[in-house]
DNA sequence: TAATTTGTTCAAGTTTTTTTGAACAATCTG
DNA sequence: CAGATTGTTCAAAAAAACTTGAACAAATTA
């Protein structure tokens, strides 16, 4: 049981990618390993191949499934749960946006409301005016980000099924 | 010298936003403070208002300028450098993509090349075939992400200059 | 030139995040 | 049921990220 060199490199690629998306390294490693493999892997195989602990493997696999980045299959006549990577970029991006971006936008709405509240009972009219201008700007940003996300999902999915027209 | 309540709330909003973009909290606080203010602030004012150290202020201001999120002005007859926030979302997003996303895409190209290399001198033809399929998938993802970024810049900028049509 | 102002650097300290592994549940098997 | 297998939880350890502040450099002023 071992990893090929190119698999090590690919896993490292995903490790770094996870990091830059704000996810733990181990999530990237686990996804990367499953991405490389054709056959589903069980938790103990993931642990052994990556040299990570039971806890990391268990939590990582759960989080990745929650993100829609992996899914599990049960081999008939076997108690073990085995995992495979989702490789459609559209699904990966969609899951990430749903679990990470959308909640942030929601929190943003709440915070904007809070600022409104603080602005209402404020007698310093200069600060109030300034605050209202800022509130408008933030609302505009929020609106634009909300508009953007659907486009991202759309554009990324676009050529999943289109074969490349030419070879360069 | 003090912060209004709404400013505290706005600064906290940016603190959290910075966090979720993978930037240090203090960067968010500094940007948030400048975002709230009409007049440029000098480093010592930023330090005092946010209760952060010289080091954090210096590094934060530098990084934010590098990102294009703030710019500096010199009051005539004063040695101090003072800072103002960039509030055009298009510029903010553009700077972020330039400094964060683009480098990652470049690193991705390098890693893909490395994987190619490892695949070339590999005699296990099964692993080789599998590796080549994965390499193709990754190349496709890279292409799609490269396509996406220009759209993001475009869509986000769109209504910066359009005034809101109505008041709600 | 000495003293002051403004800002940078980076080693050390602090805080936060991630990982580990032992204890615990739940499910199957003989 | 006792023992084996599979997987979860979470407190403590380890690692990573962030912040601090004292020492330093550069530019200015008296």
Q: What is the pLDDT of residue A159?
A: 61
Rounded CA Rg of chain B: 22
Cα–Cα dist B154/A77, whole Å: 53
Rounded distance in angstroms from the CA atom of residue A53 to the C1' atom of nucleotide D15: 15
> Within 10 Å of residue A39's Cβ, how many Cβ atoms?
10
Q: Does the structure show a pLDDT above 70 at B141? A: yes
pLDDT tens by residue, A132-153 = 999 999 999 999 999 999 999 9
B112-139 burial, b if ≥16 CB within 10 A, otherwise e? bebbeebbeebeeeebbebbeebbeebb
A111 CB neighbours in chain B (<8 A) are: 9, 12-13, 16
Tokens read off for B118? 């490892």
Q: Which nucleotide is nearest to A53 (CA to C1')?
A: C20
Cα–Cα dist B102/B66, whole Å: 14
Confidence of residue B159 (pLDDT cuts 50, 70, 90): low
B13 interface with A at CB cutoff 8 Å: yes
Please state, in angstroms and as integers, the Cα–Cα distance from residue B21 to each residue in A123, B53, B60, B70, following that order. 35, 22, 15, 17
Architecture of the CATH domain A5-85: Orthogonal Bundle (1.10)
- Looking at the DSSP assignment, which residues form a beta bridge with residue B42? B82
Averaged confidence pLDDT in chain B: 93
The answer to whether the CB of B60 falls within 8 A of the CB of B30 is: yes
Cα–Cα dist A93/A70, whole Å: 13
Backbone angles phi, psi at B71, to 5 degrees: -140, 160
Q: Does the structure show a pLDDT above 70 at B32? A: yes
B141 interface with A at CB cutoff 8 Å: yes
pLDDT tens by residue, A65-95 = 999 999 999 998 889 999 999 999 999 999 9
Q: Which among A111, A88, A105, A61 has a CA at the least distance from the CA of A158?
A: A88
> Within 10 Å of residue B25's Cβ, how many Cβ atoms?
16
Rounded distance in angstroms from the CA atom of residue A111 to the C1' atom of nucleotide C22: 42
Q: What is the DSSP-derived secondary structure letter of residue A160? A: G
Q: How many angstroms separate the CA of residue B79 from the nearest CA in chain A?
A: 28
Q: Which of A3, A7, A9 to mutate to test the interface with B (most CBs of B within 10 A)?
A: A9
């Amino acid at each position: 049981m071992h990893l090929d060199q190119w698999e090590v490199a690919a896993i490292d690629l995903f490790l770094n990618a996870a990091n830059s998306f704000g996810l733990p390294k181990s999530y990237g490693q686990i996804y990367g390993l499953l991405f490389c493999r054709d056959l589903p892997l069980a938790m103990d195989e993931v642990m052994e191949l990556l040299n990570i602990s039971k806890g990391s493997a268990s939590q990582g696999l759960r989080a990745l499934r929650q993100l829609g980045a992996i899914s599990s299959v049960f081999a008939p006549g076997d108690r073990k749960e085995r995992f495979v990577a989702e490789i459609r970029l559209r699904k990966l991006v969609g899951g990430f946006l749903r679990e990470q971006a959308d909640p942030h936008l929601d929190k943003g709405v709440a915070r904007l409301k809070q600022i409104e509240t603080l602005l209402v009972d404020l007698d310093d009219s200069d600060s109030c005016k300034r605050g209202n201008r800022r509130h408008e700007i933030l609302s505009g940003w929020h609106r634009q980000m909300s508009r953007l996300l659907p486009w991202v999902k759309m554009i990324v999915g676009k050529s999943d099924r289109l074969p490349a027209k030419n070879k360069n």
